[in-house]
Structure 1
Amino acid sequence: MVGMAGVSLLVSNFIQVPFILPKGSSIYIGLLNGCFDSSVLTFMLVKKLYEGGIDKQFSFIGLAILLIVISGVCTLLHPSREPHTTNTNNKVPKDDGMKDDDVNGCQEVVQTTPDPSSEIKSVGDILRHPLFISHVVWISIVMLKYIYFLGSANRMMTQLLRDESRVSYFSDVMTFTMIGSLLSSFIAGYTIHAMEKLFTGSMRMVIPLAMTSCLAIFLSALAFVPEPPVLYVDFIVLTFLRSFMYTTNMDFIRLAFPLKYTSMIFGLVMAISGILTITQYGLFDWAEKYDEATIDVNVFLLCLSIVSLAHPIVVFYREKSKSSCI
């Protein structure tokens, strides 16, 4: 609960980025996500201090004081006013040279793929919107794969390596690899930025969404290769998956829905997906039921990851239907 709420509060500040840095905002959002991902360094520092003889209690007291100071500074520096703008990404321009029949045909297409900016009037409209439902399913599947890997990593490495010292070594490798999220998040942000030069509206998010799903599929497939060297690849893919997941999630919500609802929609997406990913505990129990249970769980997660590809397909066809009448 602390994690999900913290992410929602953190990303609500990202809404200011497009106003402060309009050019390349996706890159800056990606870098901010990278800094957030690299926060695993905090616990690595606590671990090293503990190994050096410093009680964990003092480390966490120092961390709490630092958080109070940073929170105070951020509150004082936060912009006092938010610019008033409207999201025009999905508006369909009118061509005076079009024939009446063409205009009527265009209107019919738009009616089948309505613009979220004109549709959403309340929280109920958000919850019923096809793009919102599709996106919640997508982020829940991808996040479930990510969280399940983190939650089962120690047990998986223990069974694979059968050596406590090697498990500790690979745990450190995973942590240091995730510190490299600044690089992977920059790549994620730059990918979205590059799409902005090629596409408009939500169409620019199709490839990043599909890439995130493919990373989840790849990570799921690696589970069927139980070899210690593969762990290095696991950690790299995991880092990229996390970076693409959070960066793409934020940018999709920002581009696909009215700007004034961004904070609300992001909070709803994280809350609902957070509740759905509690199913990870059921997967943990399933993995311990019988000898081949871990393989079955991995097959299940692989199938779910493949299903997540439906979201970018839905976005693609909705945007294609709208653009066909322009």
Structure 2
Amino acid sequence: MASGETERYLCPSEDGERRDRALPVSQRGRRAVRPSATRVPVRMVSGENEIYLCPSEDVHCDLQDDRFALIFTLASFALSFMTLPCGFLFDSFGTMVTRFLAISLYIAATLMIAFSTAASAALLFPAACMIAVGGIIIYMTNIQVGNLFGNNQSTIITLYTGAFGSSAVVFLLVKVLYEVGLSLRSMFLFISCLSFIHIVSTFFLLPRTRFPHPVPEGYTYGAHPTHRTIGRRFTLEHVGGNEEQVPSFRSCIFSSFFFTHLLWLSIIQLRHFLFIGTFNPMLALLADGDSKQVSRFTNAFALTQMCSVFCAPWNGLIMDRHKRKDKSPDIVSGNPGRLASMRSAIISLAITVTQAVLFAICAAIPVLEAQYLTFALQVINRSFLYGGDAAFIAVTFPHCHFGKVYGLAQAVSAIVSLLQYPCFTFIQGPLQDNPFYLNVGFIALVALAYAHPINVYLHCRREAQRDGAVKHPPDDAPRQDH
């Protein structure tokens, strides 16, 4: 039964005792300590039926674990990679069309899980992917709500990011309720019915296209908006005065900002994925194979993941606070708030990299008790990473390209994250299941992400010098006689 990034499962030990253990989802099939299966089948309950993936004493329970690992891998990749086409859809057709696609995917997925049987267990594969894609679309369309809050834009964006990261608590609640007697079918039917909330909010609380930035006076939205020109044309007119002043999507993705942002996002995300992937072997190694200690530390890690909603807004508060303190005008770009927003992002980006370095250092310490600090740094850094990713793209690139730029960044980082599998092979082979030296190497690799805040700082300094040159021309500049 999956819950967030951990899964509880029952697997018989060598002495026939049933032991309740917990493993990271991405780690199943790569355990350092494997209990051998004998006579007790492992079950996965779907709907009102029990799906026995290990029906006989000759089949190991690793079969079920590997199936769940494959489901998690496919869903995780779909969540990141499918953000790119969804971003194009959002920028082209607006909020309402995109959200109804997401709601349809979500309802279909929850119903597939609710009515799946032993004969249709394969439905879990598309269902998990559809939930992932539907969820990221809802999240992406909700980010634009930050435009309504002016100087608090980054705080609202990071708050949504934290809520998205803590959403695993829903499946933890499903697990707890299942253990007290509720069936999965009834719970997933109830979750499917909750999609009515998304339908109502899409009709009455969100625009048909998107929220403009900045929001003009008297702007209304929802079922009966007063501004009929809201959309792509309206947004472009309020950004730079005409459409020609808005950079093209091509110029955005070939800018130095985007390249260093990809470096920043991809390296730190790869470090997080590698930590989750080597989580159980690392704990088993540090605990000398003590399954009770492994289970206790795994539960502690699962609980920390719910704190994302409390950690992420601090990143937005840092950005918004520095933006309010920055009163420098932006003459060259023609957008008074853009340069101030970029300057406010510098310290946020640098703090995120510093957290990632500290997290990598703690993860490399071969002391079991030190992993509590690693867990805390991991959830804080993950919250800052994904919240800062969305906030930086929102304040740096044109609003009309947000969906495409954000989607492309997520898709590229998803492809880079596939490097975790060669790393797993390297750990299991030459390193003999001891990831210590690889962890040490990642400390230096993560430090390369400092290139992004440095690049943004240098750009802002150049822009400030250009603004100064425009406001205060040299004294020996030629003057016109009147």
TM-score (norm 2): 0.57
Partner of 2:215: none
Are the counterparts in 2 of residues 11 and 250 from structure 1 also a CA contact under 8 Å?
no
Are the counterparts in 2 of residues 86 and 260 from structure 1 also a CA contact under 8 Å?
yes
Partner of 1:186: 313
Q: Distance in 1 between matches of 2:294 and 2:347?
A: 36
Are the counterparts in 2 of residues 33 and 247 from structure 1 also a CA contact under 8 Å?
yes
SS in 2 for 1:21: helix
Alignment-mate amino acid for residue 160 of structure 2:
L
5+ long unaligned stretches in structure 2: 1-76, 84-132, 213-233, 327-339, 468-482
The alignment-based identity, stated in percent, is 26
Alignment-mate amino acid for residue 2 of structure 1:
A
Matched, 1:46 2:174: yes
Partner of 1:303: 444
Partner of 1:207: 347
Are the counterparts in 1 of residues 269 and 417 from structure 2 also a CA contact under 8 Å?
yes
Partner of 1:58: 185
Matched, 1:174 2:301: yes
SS in 1 for 2:466: coil
SS in 2 for 1:18: helix
Cα distance 1:257–1:187, how it changes in 2: closer, same or farther (>3 A)?
same
Cα distance 1:60–1:290, how it changes in 2: closer, same or farther (>3 A)?
farther
SS in 1 for 2:365: coil
Cα distance per residue 1:210-258 (max 9 Å; x no partner): 1111111111101222222212111111111111011111111111111
Residue 317 of structure 1: how far off its partner (Å): 0.5
Q: Distance in 1 between matches of 2:201 and 2:457?
A: 39
Corresponding residue to 1:237 among 346, 369, 377: 377
SS in 2 for 1:223: helix
State the structure with bigger RCO (CA 8 A, min sep 6), 1 or 2. Answer: 1
Corresponding residue to 2:257 among 110, 131, 150: 131
Moved more, 255-264 or 15-24: 15-24
Moved more, 68-77 or 304-313: 68-77
Partner of 1:102: none
Cα distance per residue 1:129-187 (max 9 Å; x no partner): 11111111110011111122122222221222222222222222112112111221121
Partner of 1:110: none
Are the counterparts in 2 of residues 198 and 204 from structure 1 also a CA contact under 8 Å?
no
Alignment-mate amino acid for residue 250 of structure 1:
A
Corresponding residue to 2:273 among 132, 137, 147: 147
Cα distance 1:231–1:50, how it changes in 2: closer, same or farther (>3 A)?
farther
- RMSD between superposed Cα atoms in Å: 2.6
Residue 318 of structure 1: how far off its partner (Å): 1.0
Partner of 2:146: 18
Alignment-mate amino acid for residue 254 of structure 2:
R
Which structure is higher in helix share?
Answer: 1
Cα distance 1:286–1:70, how it changes in 2: closer, same or farther (>3 A)?
farther
Partner of 1:321: 462
Cα distance 1:227–1:60, how it changes in 2: closer, same or farther (>3 A)?
farther
Partner of 1:270: 410
Residue 276 of structure 1: how far off its partner (Å): 1.1
Cα distance 1:86–1:192, how it changes in 2: closer, same or farther (>3 A)?
farther
Q: Distance in 1 between matches of 2:436 and 2:245?
A: 46
Flag the structure with larger Rg.
2
Residue 322 of structure 1: how far off its partner (Å): 1.0
Residue 58 of structure 1: how far off its partner (Å): 3.2
Cα distance 1:88–1:148, how it changes in 2: closer, same or farther (>3 A)?
farther
TM-score (norm 1): 0.82
Residues 280-299 of structure 1 mapped to structure 2, 5 A cutoff: 280-291=420-431, 294-299=435-440
SS in 2 for 1:159: helix
Alignment-mate amino acid for residue 284 of structure 2:
T
Residue 38 of structure 1: how far off its partner (Å): 1.0
Q: Distance in 1 between matches of 2:286 and 2:187?
A: 33
Q: Distance in 2 between matches of 1:24 and 1:12?
A: 18
Cα distance 1:245–1:87, how it changes in 2: closer, same or farther (>3 A)?
farther
Corresponding residue to 2:137 among 2, 6, 9: 9
Q: Distance in 2 between matches of 1:280 and 1:42?
A: 27
Residues 106-117 of structure 1 mapped to structure 2, 5 A cutoff: none
SS in 2 for 1:180: helix
